[in-house]
Amino acid sequence: MNKKHKYIYILLSAIIATAAIVGCSDIRNATFEETETTVLPIPALLEDSNSDPDVADYELTAQLGSSTFFEDKKTQTMGYNGNFLGPVMIVKRGEQVNMHVKNDLNEDTSVHWHGLKVSGDKDGGPHQIIKPGEIWEPSFVINQPAATLWFHPHVIGSTASQVYYGLAGVMIVEDDVSAELDLPKTYGVDDIPLILQDRSFNSDGSFNYNSNMMDGAIGDTIIVNGAIAPTLEVSQAKMRFRIINGANASNFNLTVDDGVQFYQIASDGGFLESPVLEKSLFISPGERAEIVVDFSRFEKGQTVAMKSGDSDVMYFRIADSQKDDTIIPDELAEIERMKIDSSTPVKRIELDGMGHMVAINGRKFDMERIDDVAELGVIEVWEITSAASMMHSMGHPFHIHGVQFQILSRSSGQLSSNELGWKDTVFVAPGETVKIMVKFEEKGIFMYHCHILEHEEAGMMGQIRVE
């Protein structure tokens, strides 16, 4: 892929709708007929300013902005290099990436590379704060398979609000495997990122962000790439969607039209070994998935809905047919499973509490405390339990910085086929224990936490030092 990317912004005809979030009953459930026309923004590609094919230089600026979600109403927002959300960075395995991140906000921020295997001092967690007016310049080499990653703030006390106001973007890692696979891969044409979030609005169009919500900021309006449930015009061909759950706290259970099957080809950390044919996709905060939908089965002019539960998330409008010789491969990538035995170290993580009374293993997060230590290159088993009680019971998306792991087992039953790839975030249902296999390949101090951002900020987070 050509490293010199121009900023693009593809606007396609769209239909506004609102959508429901799994487990939330107060979402507006607009129908197709009730909505007006809007557009789906396709995030711009971030331009690499370095002419060296093996080195990339990218500039990101966290800034204040103003966006229009409703006609004649302005919403104060934040974005990277723009008003809301941010651009897409395409990097490749083996490439040296030099980041130049400027903070033009009036408050501290940071940029965490969610899913990137990088040393602790370059992870962008709460130890790498960027003060207003300052520039943070980490440099790292991409050393992991092709995957859809993302980036967002991770500063104590402001992570949840900054993400809510719009600070998030996508990083796509490419490698030789992704280049050779016969998959849709033309960005903005048949390879589209979908950042799923939800928001609540006041009558004047401003965000109604309530950090005191008991179990995270659940919005009543869905947005996709910063637009309220839009429509994407698609050809009668296969389309690839890189889905990122960028919500503060909401889960999504996605389907396409009335039970239409699609292929999931990748999870958080890259390709699955083989495509998984599915009718629905559950995705919790922080998780990613890549799917391929074949629209050749639909008629020209037909409108197809993507739903979460019973509510519409976005729409696809079928346009003209086009030649499509793409054949989804039976094999996508080789994934070497980690091997464990009776001598493998075991760590136990209990996620407990509600609202602001949350903790990991009975302790709230303390920046001055190292909660655990791991040895570089040593496989560990982590047993993660979401505590349940008669008073309160909920699931938690559990994320570890700086590493990709493999799921070993779920106490609730057999693993799904789409859980057998590389992961950095895993949903742990109420009362469930999920065992994962973890091997750190970078040194430093890393966070592990619930990815309900309000839970993270309330103390459901710990630190591990890898040495």
Single-letter code of the amino acid located at 176: D
Say whether pLDDT at 9 is over 60. Answer: no
pLDDT in tens, 65-76: 999 999 889 999
Say whether pLDDT at 28 is over 80. Answer: no
pLDDT in tens, 130-154: 999 999 999 999 999 999 999 999 9
pLDDT of residue 388: 82
Question: Where a domain ends, among 276, 309, 332?
Answer: 332
Domain containing residue 125: CATH number: 2.60.40.420
Is residue 328 domain-resident?
A: yes
pLDDT of residue 324: 86
Say yes or no: 263 and 355 in one domain.
no
Q: Which of 91, 113, 241 is nearest to 172 (CA)?
A: 91
pLDDT of residue 210: 81
Domain count, the chain: 2
**Domain range for residue 187?**
7-332
CA pair distance 383, 321, nearest whole angstrom: 49
Say whether pLDDT at 30 is over 70. Answer: no
Say yes or no: 82 and 26 in one domain.
yes
Say yes or no: 85 and 229 in one domain.
yes
pLDDT of residue 34: 39
pLDDT of residue 37: 62
Is residue 91 domain-resident?
A: yes
Q: How confident is residue 214, by pLDDT bands cut at 50, 70 and 90?
A: low
Say yes or no: 328 and 350 in one domain.
no
pLDDT in tens, 324-382: 888 899 999 999 999 999 999 999 999 998 878 899 999 999 999 999 999 999 999 99
What's the average model confidence in pLDDT over 170-185? 97
Is residue 97 domain-resident?
A: yes
pLDDT of residue 277: 97
The single-letter DSSP state of residue 423 is B
Its pTM stands at 0.91
Say yes or no: 324 and 364 in one domain.
no
Question: Where a domain ends, among 332, 361, 381?
Answer: 332
Residues facing 234 on adjacent strands: 318
Is residue 338 domain-resident?
A: no
Say yes or no: 149 and 214 in one domain.
yes
pLDDT in tens, 61-119: 999 999 999 988 999 999 999 999 999 999 999 999 999 999 999 999 999 999 999 99
Q: Which of 160, 164, 197 is nearest to 356 (CA)?
A: 160
Instruction: Work out whether strand 311-321 and strand 281-283 pair parallel, antiparallel, or are unpaired.
Output: unpaired
What's the average model confidence in pLDDT over 276-305? 96
Say yes or no: 227 and 106 in one domain.
yes
